[in-house]
Structure 1
């Protein structure tokens, strides 16, 4: 069957004219690319989030440890200057020791560094898979497409799941990224913050207008 269509995936337009495709297989391929691309964005956001948290926690423990070490080995007069006003040196040393120990326990419990690495690995695996799928949009080999799609579950099953509470936020950020990317292709000098605000205002204004129309129709 001859079909002709242009499909948009991740902001790019793909032409599939004059090729023989099974509609269901093509639809599955398009959906898999779209879902995988969205998951890549989510994994990248989660990776950066937990990497920032891990780095902040590591630096806080290092700074407290350095402060504690300095107070022990420096001259007593300098140690007094490193102690907050109104607190004794011994009490402050105890506070720093307990603080460093407590943060170390938190570090072991939350394991943010490992989670960041897991999300990074998931993003890398899915990104590689999407790169393999995109050329198939212009391939007439249905069996090759089906074989690639059959690997989806085996590839994604071992990956770190995206938290359910973050899913809609991740989807929103992915869609915003696509809209912003398309706009920048035509207007590269656009202020990104202003563009985000305009998109949010437009969509929320549309939502309010739709809600008002529904209320009017109900009456």
Structure 2
């Protein structure tokens, strides 16, 4: 929007969305809004949080593979090593914000139920399985 002022008339007063103000006033408000949005973006850090969650998923997936490989002959030293790795990884996982927990849990439980439905009825589509689970939930 700041670039648009390069094409504005030379008048001192500019009208935007029915509001009249001096060009300098509009540029000032644009700077305030841009600064506020930049600060909010730095505080929220969505990209950083997404990256940390992605790293946690990768670490947990690797650990799950180690547990599967070691499940056959899990001796005492191997069990202690895996437990240490588990504790290390779990302490580094970013916490789930309280406001998202119930929504994410509901989504996870729905996925589990759909998965059970797909296993119980091989060959049905994922959509059909979701519909069957939804119908079962409304009846119960």
Q: One fold, TM greater than 0.5?
A: yes
Match status 1:149 vs 2:107: no
Q: How does 1:116-195 map to 2 (within 5 A)?
A: 116-137=50-71, 139-143=72-76, 144-184=78-118, 186-191=122-127, 195=129
Q: Contact 1:119/1:160 (CA < 8 Å) preserved in 2?
A: yes
The CA distance in 1 between the partners of 2:52 and 2:64, in whole Å, is 18
Tell me the secondary structure at the aligned position of residue 95 of structure 2. coil
| Deviation per residue, 1:136-166 (Å, 9 max, x gap) | 34x0333334532342112211221223443
User: CA 1:187/1:68 → structure 2, altered by over 3 Å: closer, same or farther?
Assistant: farther
- Structure 2 runs not aligned, ≥5 long: none
Deviations 1:61-80 (Å, cap 9, x if unpaired)?
xxxxxx11232x22428xx9
Displacement of 1:123: 1.6
Q: Which has the higher contact order (CA 8 A, sep 6+)?
A: 1
| Distance in 2 (alpha carbons) for counterparts of 1:156 and 1:95 | 45
Q: What runs of 5+ residues in structure 1 fail to find an aligned partner?
A: 1-66, 207-219
**SS of aligned partner of 2:96:** coil
TM-score normalized by the length of structure 2 = 0.70
Among candidates 18, 43, 66, match of residue 85 of structure 1: 18
Distance in 2 between residues matched to 1:100 and 1:75, nearest whole Å: 20
Aligned-pair RMSD on alpha carbons? 3.2
5 Å matches for 1:1-219?
A: 67-71=1-5, 73-76=6-9, 83-88=16-21, 90=23, 91-137=25-71, 139-143=72-76, 144-184=78-118, 186-191=122-127, 195-196=129-130, 198-206=132-140
- Distance 1:75-1:171 versus aligned 2 partners, 3 A rule: closer
Shift of 1:107: 1.6
CA displacement at 1:184 relative to structure 2: 4.7
